[in-house]
Amino acid sequence: MMLENKVSLITGSNKGIGFSLVKKFSENGSDIIACARKKNVDFEKKINEISKKNNNKIYPIYFDLNSNEEILEGIKKIQSIAPNLDVIVNNAGIDQVSLFQLTSQKQINEVFQVNFFSTLIITQALMKILIKNKRGSIINIASNAAIECDAGRSIYASSKAALISFTKSLSKELGPLNIRANAVAPGLTKTSMIEKGISKKILEDALKRVPLKRVAEVEEIANVVVFLASDLSSYVNGETLFVTGGY
């Protein structure tokens, strides 16, 4: 029960790494505000089952990260539900693959809005709760693409690199207030991004660069986030933990 008596916010919680985070955080005793883009009956059924199984609370909140107006409305709801927020996990993100010369301004804006600017808005608003309570952990989900910078990933990699830089700077601002900020940079992970966005040939070539010779399970990424959210990582601040199987 590494997160017992904590309240955690998780964005992008309805699938992939985000849904695994909901399960892992609940198993470890945290109440959760589970943010997703659209209301989904199946998602609510699943989180209700998780909540009952682990005897804690999970509150679903819906807003589109592409809309600053919806984000601000969502923040108001979060503030009313969780005046004692302990953990913020900015997990939501979108992938994008195309040569830079073929990438439209609309695509660029969308990637940065969802992957970076929405995180700034949410963190800036909600870290006030952490500051008031003089404790907390902020965890931003980046990507090893931020440093690998492969062809066709210029915009996605840049958005994740910005997230890493933001995390490092934020850790220096909030550290004196007993609030930690860290990032997790997954490598190849078994999510819909991998299943739908990467061809079998590209995946096989990429796995040649992974000493463990496999992609990560979403639970393996979630375990690292649980560690950073818990008091076991009480002296870890301003770091980016690369979870890549040695890529």
Catalytic center residues:
156
Closest listed residue to residue 170, CA positions, set 148, 144, 149, 142: 142
Closest listed residue to residue 82, CA positions, set 131, 31, 125, 45: 31
Contact 215, 190 (CB under 8 A): yes
Q: What angle do CA 70, 74, 80 make, to 5 degrees?
A: 150
Rounded to the nearest angstrom, the gap between the alpha carbon of residue 213 and the centroid of all alpha carbons in its chain is 25
Phi, psi dihedral angles at 9 (to 5 degrees): -105, 130
Task: Supply the Cα-derived Rg of the chain in whole angstroms.
Answer: 17
Phi, psi dihedral angles at 34 (to 5 degrees): -100, 110
Q: Please tell me the total number of residues recorded for the chain in this structure.
A: 247
Phi/psi-derived region of residue 97, left when phi > 0, alpha when psi is between -120 and 50, beta in every other case: beta
Tokens describing residue 60: 């679903």
Quick check: helix, strand or coil at residue 180? Answer: strand
